[in-house]
Chains A and B, each alone.
Chain A
Amino acid sequence: MSVLSVFFVFLYYVATAILFVGLGYRIWVYFKTPAPLKIPTTPAPTTVGGVVLRMTREVTLFESLFKSNKWIWLFGWLFHFGLLLVLLRHLRYVTEPVWWWVTMLQPFGKYASFAMVLGLLGLLARRIVVDRVRYISSPSDFLMLLLLLGIGLSGMLMTFASKADIVSLKEFLFGMMSFDLQPFPGQPVLVIHMLLVALLMIVFPFSKLLHAPGVFFSPTRNQVDNPREKRHVASWAAKLESGKR
C-alpha cells in the first residue's frame, strides 16, 4: 500500500476515535453536571411532552433564531439542512446494498450542497460586514466557516465536475470498517476533501461545534415549567440541606 493509503487509514481511525470518544466524554460531563435550579426561559411548557415539542421545534425549525434575526436564521437553516441532506446522501458510500431511501434522496442530496454553501457564504458575509458580529469573532470562527466551505466546495467539485472514483473509495471505506485494508484512491480533490473532513472530525469535540449536543442539555430549553408542583433538588443542594436547616 502506498504511503498515502497508510496515512489515510491511520488518520481516519484516529479521527473517528477522537470524534466519538471526545463527544461521548462531553455528553457524559453535561449529563452528570447537575442543574440545581429551575431556569426554563418562560413561557415554557408545563409537561415533558411539551418540552419534547419545544426542543423539536428548536432543532428542526430553529424557532428562537427565527424570532431573533431572519437573515441568520435563513443562512443557518440553509446550511444545516443542506448539510443534513448531504450527509444522508453520503450514507451510500458506507452501505451495501445502498438503502432505498438513501437512493431516493440522491438527487436532492446533490443539490442540497448548493444550499449548504450558500448558507455558509451568507454567514461568512455577516461575520465580515456586520460590525457587531465582526467584533465578537475570533480567528477560529472564520476558520471554521472556511473549513466547512472547503469541504462543501471540494465535494461539489467531485459531484458536478471531476467525478471521484467512487468504486475504489467505497472499497477503501469498507476495508477500514472490516479491518481488511484497501488502497486509497489518490485523486487530488478527494485527498483534499477527505483531509478537511478528518480535520473537522478531530476539532469537533474541542470547538464550538459542541453546540450540537449542547442544545439538548440547555436548561433554559429542556426544563419543564413546574417548580411549584414538583420539588426539584440537585444532589449537591440536597447535601447542603441535610447539613442544617
Chain B
Amino acid sequence: MPVQVVRHLDEALDALAAMPRAEPIAGGTDLMVEINFGRRRVSDVVAIDRVDELKELRTGREFRVGAGGDTRIRVGGGVTYTQLLTDGAGSVALWEASRTVGSPQIRNAGTIGGNLATSSPAGDTLPVFAALDATVVLRSREGERRVKFGEFMTGPKRNVRRRDELVLAAEWDDAGPAQTFIKVGTRNAMVIAVASLAFVIDAARRRVGIALGSCGPTIIRAADAERFAQGWLEERGWDRPRRPTEAERGELGRLVAAAARPIDDVRGTAAYRRHVLAVIAARAFDRLAVMT
C-alpha cells in the first residue's frame, strides 16, 4: 500500500487526479479501521494531514465576543477535533460534538474532513452541520463545488463527493450562542452514538435547525419540530428569553421522535431511540429557549 505524502493542496489534488484509485488519508481513524477489518482494500494512499491549506480555521472575532451578526465561519477539512476544542469551533454545538468524539488520541488525529467524507449516520459533527445548514466546500483539480450539507450526504456512508475531490472546508453563518449538541451512548465517553441531536436557534436569522444522528440511514432534519419551535419563537418573540412549558417541550420532543427512522441494532432498540430523542430534544429546547 504505497503512501504519497503531500504538503500542498495542489499537490494533493494532482495526486488524486493522477491516480484513479487513490484515497486520501487524514487522521486515518476511519480508514485504518476499515482496512483492519478487511472491509476496504486500498491500493494507493495520499496522506493529506500535512497540508496547511486544509487546516484553516476562521471562527471570527465577533463570534468570540458572543455577538451574532453576519460572521461567516469556515473550518478546514484537515482541522482536528483537538484543534477545534482549543482554538474555538465557531459553533457551540460543533464544539460540544467534537468533545464527544472518541478519546484524546482520536481527537488529536481525527478531522472534520474525515467525518464528512466518511458520512456515517453516527458521525457526530454531521447533525451539527445539518442543523447549521452548513455548506461543504469540495475542491478538485477541475475547480470548486459548494454543496449544502443536506445535499452532500445521500445515505449511509454515501455522499456526492467525487473520488478526486477533497473536502476543503465546511462553512456556515455564525448562528449565535443558542445551539447545542447532545449524544446518547451507553458509555460515558468513547462511544458511538445510539442517538444524537443538534439544535440551533439562530435568533438573528429567525431560523431553527434540528438534526438527528444515528436514527436513520442518513442525518435527518426534524422539519415539523423545527416549524413548531419556529412558530413558538415567533409567538413569544425571538429575543425574549423564557422557558417553554412542559407541554410545549413534550410536543417538540414528540415531533422530533416522529421524524426519526430508527432501527433495532446492537447499540439500542428503535423504541429506545425514539424515546430518548424526545427527551433530549425537550431538554435542548428548554436550555436554548432562554438563551436567545
Whether A associates with B in a native complex is no
Residues of B within 8 A of A (CB): none
Residues of A within 8 A of B (CB): none
